[in-house]
Amino acid sequence: MGHPPPPGTPPAACRGSMSRILIFNAGSSSLRSALYRVDAGAADCLWQDHREQPPEQLGQQLDDLLATIPLPVDAAAHRVVHGGPQLWRPARISEQVERAIEQAGELAPLHNPHALNLLRRVRAQLDPELAHIACFDTGFYHDLPEVAATYPLPHGISSEQGLRRYGFHGLAHQSMLAGLSACHSAASTPRRVISLQLGGGCSVTASLDDRALDTSMGFTPLEGLMMRTRCGDIDPGLLFHLKRSLGLSDAGLESLLNHDSGLLGVSGRSGDMKTLLEADDDRSRLAVELFCYRTRKYLAAYTGVLGGVDAVLFGGGVGENAAPVRAGILEGLDYLGIRLDPDLNSAARGERRRISSDDSRVEVWVMPVDEGALMARQAAELLTRET
């Protein structure tokens, strides 16, 4: 794999606190890879690659990709969306951990299978002694307040089945909070923060002093906001109606809600926000309007959870690049002290920038997400604890 390390390169244990961590972030429809150098808690990206295809569709491209990774590498960290009830801390991937990730796959069918397939292919090609570490999207929400984590179902069933609101996109939301802190002194960092991760999957999180108090995704990544192809919140009674009226199997219903709904389902055209913003038909306009409307409801509701709001953060492909969507979500929220600067908003694309007006009581930021840096730090910390 790749080029051999330079002669005399010391092993990780002899390089002090510095670690070189390979990152794999398998999304529902993409693969991001990167190599980070972590030294004294700071993570610097040395190499990166982005493919708009799930790993199993890459074929020989993945083999070629692995051959370009610059050595040496001390560990490979993999983003895992769902670890079930037991796995939430970063963990070295063993047979037991791998089985747990596989079992949790039915709760994250768009993500866990991709991550496992990628892990197995990568492990087969890299040094067999290389440590592989799972970083879980649910970790940030492990200690959600009980009132936010509990479903109003019979307690016995919830306890027996492990039913709770797990939350997802935790790595992305933590990354945005870290970015916000980097823009302020410790004393001036906003305390009550609502972060929006808007991409293929979408979620919103309410955080107080960097601790999550509530989040829109729940037992699975299907709950919450309207997404690219996922429906988000719907009346559970609709599920019974759809099964009866359309004769859908469980698998058919799951596919309908995960793959055929959301922006794609409402527009009948595409789940791609850029395509819908450029379209000139009523259904595309409705899809965008509905997306903004449902997101705005969550944002406003979370001000009640936090007792107000000091900062709103937009991340993810849509959140970082679609100025009309940001404006649509924040429309009518002046009463909360949220005011956009139209020029700053229009100019902000994929870079960290404050886009609120001078007279806004609430800071509004475009905050690019760097899950890889966070995963690299988590993996390096785990390696340090094990030595």
Q: In what order do the strands lie in the sheet with 353-354?
A: 211-215, 202-208, 192-198, 311-315, 363-366, 353-354
Q: Considering the candidates 137, 143, 272, 310, report the single residue annotated as catalytic.
A: 137
Closest CA relative to residue 1, chosen from 60, 63, 88: 63
Cα-only R_g, the chain:
21
d(CA 363, CA 101): 38
Q: What contacts 313, CB < 8 A, 6 or more positions away?
A: 176, 177, 179, 180, 193, 194, 195, 196, 364, 365, 367
Helix, strand, coil % (nearest 5) of the chain? 45, 20, 40
- Hey, what are 367's tokens? 């905050």
Q: In what order do the strands lie in the sheet with 75-80?
A: 42-51, 31-39, 19-26, 75-80, 131-136, 91-92
Q: Is 39 in the active site?
A: no
Residues recorded for the chain: 387
Query: What residues are annotated to the active site?
Result: 137
